[in-house]
Amino acid sequence: MLMSNSDPSPTPPHEPPSSGDRPPGLNGPGGGKRGEQKPSSNLFWFLMIFGAIALIVFSVFNQNRSGEELAFSEFVMELERRDANDKGEMVGRFHKNNVFELVIGTDYIKFQDKPKVKNKPDNPATKFFQVPFVKPSEGDLKRLTEALEAQKIVYGYAGPPSEWQAVLIFLLPIVFLLFLFLLLFRRVGGAGSAMSFGRSRARLYAQEEIDSSFQQVAGIDEAVEELREVVEFLRNPGKYQALGGRIPRGVLLVGPPGTGKTLLAKAVAGEAGVPFYSLSGSDFVEMFVGVGAARVRDMFQQAATRSPAIIFIDELDALGKVRGSGMPGGHDEREQTLNALLVEMDGFSTEQSVIVMGATNRPETLDPALLRPGRFDRHVLVDRPDIKGREAILKVHAGKIKMDDSVDLGRLAKITPGFVGADLANLVNEAALLAARGDKKRVTMEEFEEGVERVIAGLEKQTRIIHEEEKLRVAYHECGHALVACVLPNTDPVHKISIIPRGYGALGYTMHRPNDEKQLVMQSELENQICCLLGGIIAEEIVYQETSTGAQNDLQRATDIARRMVTDFGMSRKMGRVFYGEKNVGPTFLGPQAFRNETVHSAETIREIETEVKRIVDEAAVTVRDVLGARRELLDHLASELVEVEVMDSDHLKQILDEHTTGPQIKPGTFVAPSVVDETEPEPEFGTGTDDGPGEASGA
């Protein structure tokens, strides 16, 4: 694959995006509702009644301050002038024939202007008035009472305000707000607790909320069988206890991202028929010291009251990392939480009917005390599915879409090596979206193949403008990859060549598909892989006598293979059958670059390793130069044809090779015995395979 130089460090397009462990559309362990609680109507009615009572009390106690205000002198003048106003309104406030009921307080006068005839539309509405004054003199009061008596207005004197009334007016709003605050705080923190920091955040799922079962899990049969036995423990524990057996305390699910660890936990919950608590490892971490440990104890206490039960902790590595990494003399909050979990799982007061399930893709970071028998007794590997497993997973997801009869799921499983369940689910969804975009009634094989390329190499960029000279250079580059792969033995067959830009700066790519899945890789295969990766840059060198920046990822991958041959696999005569790589404490499912430790080698050893790596790459370059130099005319035909069609499949490639090649053909993928090594040296032991991801896309 040729990369644009606008991206100095592109992501290798052959690596699938990490999609996590959760299939799309599933929000919780039950695959649906997250244990939602219905809002209580009692609280609503209680607040309504309390508010109504408070409103009545306020209206009674505060009625002496309501109404329109009048000045005292103005009010008395109005009363004294009332006789002179034979008819009509007085200042628009009260009428001549209105009946007044007036109350004189210590610092106010309150009265009501009420029409004599009620329920008449032509009569003015009732109005309330108050006249504030400050300690009127005896003359003012005498003048007021004389005016009231002259107008035959009923009046009286209000007594002094009650002290209890003043206290209630002051305290009642405060009490109401405090009560409302405490009530809401208790509902958030859980019943019976005013502080919720120490409460477990685990969600309890009822059996009817969990619709997952083992029938919905495909491609990981070994893991399913292990967990079926755990379900049988919960259903019929007496069968095992009668023989002296002990129910496992914990089950740890480990594997790469997207393989279905969380889906397995949901299936166990659905099959076991017991209460299922689900939470994440990060739910224990808080800014307050001691909160995590309190939540662990509360979680096990809740599960013990409903035993037998299952506690599922997703992303366990957020909680169970190796202790001792904190500052000297300090105490890490995470370590305190982990200590509480260790005690609850296998301490003096353990509850045998509570099983803990954990899921992680970083088991190498977990504390050894957490992994020992008695805590996590069983470690279930949820690995990438093989070809049969991928076909079974595709059948599960393809059953949800309208698929054409021409779709061959077996072929799809064959061209998707390294895909996990999440990748396959994404592939089926992409195919359905492409079919909908093309207004098709059913999803065909064409959409599935395009979906595979989208997952591996990214989206096509039809609008990117590439000059004809650059387009021809990209064609030579990709044809160099393909031609070397077709000529050399022990290489994966070429599936497709394209010079349509895709993804993050990829100007073209060559896609390889292995015929069979291998667990071991021979030295000759690794050497030919390096040759295939160098085919693009050597083709540019032969045609243009100079190279471009597009081969960056090719060189990086070729160098990585050569370095592992020297340091990890003992495939160097000079360095011998010695392991110079980095020590691994356990399986790393996030890739070999996830956790790099500093190597402890002398400068001379490192220099010799680099020399051997360069020798292997240089020898591969010589082989590639011989292969392409002897087939320059065939390379030109391939490049010119690729410029015309832009995309060339394996059948088209084979047709051109047959038309322009004389002599016997060497089929790629055939096994050739490795070269004979010196009998005085021991044979190398191959205890590992390569993980090339979902197919290879040669190039940068």
As annotated, the active-site residues are 478
The answer to whether residues 513 and 695 touch, using CB atoms and an 8 Å cutoff, is yes
At residue 113, φ and ψ (nearest 5 deg) are: -95, 100
Q: Which long-range contacts (CB under 8 A, 24 or more apart) does 167-172 make?
A: 168/57, 168/61, 169/58, 169/61, 169/62, 172/54, 172/57, 172/58
Q: 168-190 burial, b for 16+ CB within 10 Å, e for fewer?
A: eeeeeeeeeeeeeeeeeeeeeee
Fill in the DSSP letter of residue 17.
Answer: P
Fill in the DSSP letter of residue 460.
Answer: B
Q: 92-115 burial, b for 16+ CB within 10 Å, e for fewer?
A: ebbbeebebebbbbeebbbbbbbb
The answer to whether residues 417 and 694 touch, using CB atoms and an 8 Å cutoff, is yes
Residue 33: partners with Cβ closer than 8 Å, 6 or more residues away: 209
* Cα dihedral 278, 282, 287, 292 sign: positive
Kind of pairing between the strands at 94-95 and 647-649: unpaired
Looking up tokens 């509702």 gives 33
Q: What is the CA radius of gyration of the chain?
A: 41
- Neighbouring-strand partners of residue 111: 102, 129
Looking up tokens 């499983």 gives 413
Residue 344: partners with Cβ closer than 8 Å, 6 or more residues away: 296, 297, 300, 350
Whole-angstrom CA distances from 556 to 13, 313, 352, 547, 699 are 13, 38, 52, 15, 10
The answer to whether residues 228 and 214 touch, using CB atoms and an 8 Å cutoff, is yes
Amino acid in the structure at residue 427: L
Amino acid in the structure at residue 118: K
Amino acid in the structure at residue 128: F
* Distance between CA atoms of residues 260 and 560, nearest Å: 30
Please state the length of the chain. Answer: 700
217, 564, 518: which is closest to 387 by C-alpha?
518
* Distance between CA atoms of residues 496 and 453, nearest Å: 10
Tokens of 466: 């590439």
557, 548, 487: which is closest to 526 by C-alpha?
557
Whole-angstrom CA distances from 340 to 320, 336, 526 are 11, 6, 48
Residue 277: partners with Cβ closer than 8 Å, 6 or more residues away: 200, 202, 203, 204, 205, 299, 302, 303, 309, 310, 311, 312
The answer to whether residues 666 and 657 touch, using CB atoms and an 8 Å cutoff, is no
Looking up tokens 């305290």 gives 171
